[in-house]
Chains A and B, each alone.
Chain A
Amino acid sequence: MVKELILISCFMLASHTVFASKRDAVVSAIKEQCSKDQAAAEKLATPGRTGTITKFLMCLQPTVKVSDDCTVKCKSASGNVVGN
């Protein structure tokens, strides 16, 4: 039982780490491209299916509007261009 719980905790921690790194990518883009500070950028990195994190990672369009005064460029791994 204890072993199971440790395994699950490790798994959840790993999942959280993966999510955190994806979120960090958006936060970095907002900071770099819109000159926002860390706190403001984290506020604009919203989770969920229609949140800015998903939009940024999916990159269906080359820019993602994260607020009225901030639109960030994204790069998708769409496979449209070989080697990019």
Chain B
Amino acid sequence: MKILMIIFLLASGAVFAQSEVEQLKAQMAELQEQVDDLTFRSYTRYFTLSGSLKNHYESYQAKFNPGESDESEDTINTLSSIFALNVNFNVNDRLKVYTKFGMSKFWNYDGNNQAGTGRQEPLDSWDSSNTGSWGLDGSTPRIDRAYMSYNTPGSNLTFAIGRLPTNSGPPVEKSEGLERQGTYPRFAYNAIFDGMGVAYNASHLVSKGDSLNARFFYSPFVNIDQYDRRSKREEDGEVAQTLTPQYTFQVEYVKNEISFAERMHAMFFLYNYANFFQWETEDPDDDSDGYVSYYDATAQSFYLGFDNIASTNFSLNASYLYVRSLYSEAGGSARDTYGSHATLVNSTYNLGERKIIGLEYIKTDENFYIDDFNYYFLADFYKAENNEGLHLSYNQPLYSNLDAKFGVFSYRKKPGSVDDSRRDVNSFYTTLTANF
């Protein structure tokens, strides 16, 4: 009997222990799930997603040879979508990685790869790269940004390498009331460059709250054979230098609360490239028909802006660009030198709540050249030679992070050294933008 009692008690204990173990196992599984969830949430703190989607209508109305016997006119109406997704990683306390995936296209139309640049001939390798996703060439996404940034805590130096944020710089953001979108000034270089650079923050030399920065970038062009990465590029018997050098240097100073404005932003930008190898096609239908030309260029750009002048919500900035380029055809001894001057004045008036009226004035000379690849308008307002005109816009927020923008480019383009057309252009647009 005694033995039976002991066996009974042991069996009961085993059953009880068994059920407790099962219960604990279930609790453990649930806790594990919660830990996984928390871990995931923790990881997501280290990267951020953001982006923008624009839907754009534009009616481009051009009158050719105005006032002359052969005057003609044309109207082009388009609808397009421009999408960008930013994925940024705070990898650790020193390292950050920034990426941007983009697409731009006309509605239900893929494949117009000249649209973003305004060039008539097929794109060369370099301008296709500089254009990125802005070519309005279809629904296939391209990567516009993929660079890493390394900064030692306490150091004033930041190193960056990869596909850099060199496009859409100031004053692009002003008329929509956005934060700064790019590193290089827009009216000097509006193109996406791969390269490496170093930024030095010298803000300790200026008053607290103000900033002083200097940046140096090296972004060479690779020239290799289109079909064989182990062969040099050769066109019409001319062999290209494998790495064509290009450098930029930038200094900028921001001072807050000056006597007549809330903020002053001054910037000097310089770029230089040499021995640039360009295949010039003479027949748009036959890419093999052409010749090689070489370019050396130096450009200086100045930007000066004042925000919220005299507390009126009126802001004004001006960009000036001087480009000096040397051009020669392969085999020819003569080298032509071109100098060009251009000015862009940008003003905005903020009615409050980011209801912004924008007005721009541009004047370029007949030799004007700008690497301007990253825009979605039909109008070539910012890059046309011998051009003078105005850009009027109004930004209306519809809801949080949803804006409508209405505008018109109105300009007169006279014959330039490359494009000898005469055009009077009025281009009306409406853009609906979601920033998320």
Given contacts A18-B45, A61-B177, A84-B213, contact A8 B149 (CB under 8 A): no
Using an 8 Å CB-CB cutoff, how does the interface string of A72-84 with B read, 1 for contact, 0 for none?
A: 0001111111111
Is A25 at the interface (CB under 8 A from chain B)? Answer: no
Residue of A15, A18, A58, A81 ringed by the most chain B CB atoms within 10 A: A81
User: Among the listed A15, A65, A79, which residue makes an inter-chain contact with B149, where contact means beta carbons less than 8 Å apart?
Assistant: A79
Interfacial chain B residues near A76, Cβ < 8 Å: 179
Specify the chain B residue showing the minimal Cβ separation from A19. B45
- Determine if B145 and A79 form an interchain contact, defined as CB atoms under 8 angstroms apart: yes
CA distance A53 to B15 in the complex (A): 52
Q: Is the Cβ of A15 less than 8 Å from the Cβ of B436? A: no
| CA A4 to CA B27, docked complex, whole Å | 11
- A1, A11, A58, A61: the one contacting B354 at CB < 8 Å is A61
Query: Given the complex of chains A and B, what is the CA–CA distance between A77 and B86 in angstroms?
Result: 11
A60 to chain B, nearest CB (A): 5
Known: A79-B145, A84-B213. A59 touches B31 (CB 8 A): no
- Contact for A15 among B38, B145, B147, B160, CB less than 8 A: B38
With contacts A76-B179, A77-B96 taken as known, whether A83 is within 8 angstroms of B199 at the C-beta atoms is yes
- Contact flags (1/0) for A10-26 with B, using CB distance below 8 Å? 01100100100000000
Contact with A along B183-205 (1 / 0, CB 8 A): 10000000000000101110000
Q: Does A62 sit at the interface, judged by CB under 8 A?
A: yes
CB contacts (< 8 Å) of A75 on chain B: these are: 179
**Complex partner residue of B50 from A1, A60, A83, A84, CB under 8 angstroms:** A60
Category for how many chain B residues contact A:
35 or more
A15 touches B42 (CB 8 A): yes
Q: Roughly how many angstroms separate A75 CA and B197 CA in the complex, as a whole number?
A: 22
Quote the shortest CB–CB distance from B29 to chain A (angstroms).
Answer: 12
Pairs A-B, 6 closest by C-beta atoms: A83-B199, A79-B98, A83-B158, A62-B179, A82-B160, A60-B435
Write 29 A-B pairs (CB below 8 A) sorted by A numbering.
Answer: A1-B24, A1-B27, A4-B28, A4-B31, A8-B34, A8-B38, A12-B38, A15-B38, A15-B41, A58-B48, A58-B50, A60-B435, A61-B178, A62-B178, A76-B179, A77-B96, A78-B88, A79-B86, A79-B145, A79-B147, A80-B165, A80-B179, A80-B181, A82-B165, A82-B199, A83-B160, A83-B200, A83-B213, A84-B199
Which residues of A approach B to under 8 Å, CB–CB? 1, 4, 8, 11-12, 15, 18, 50, 58-63, 65, 75-84
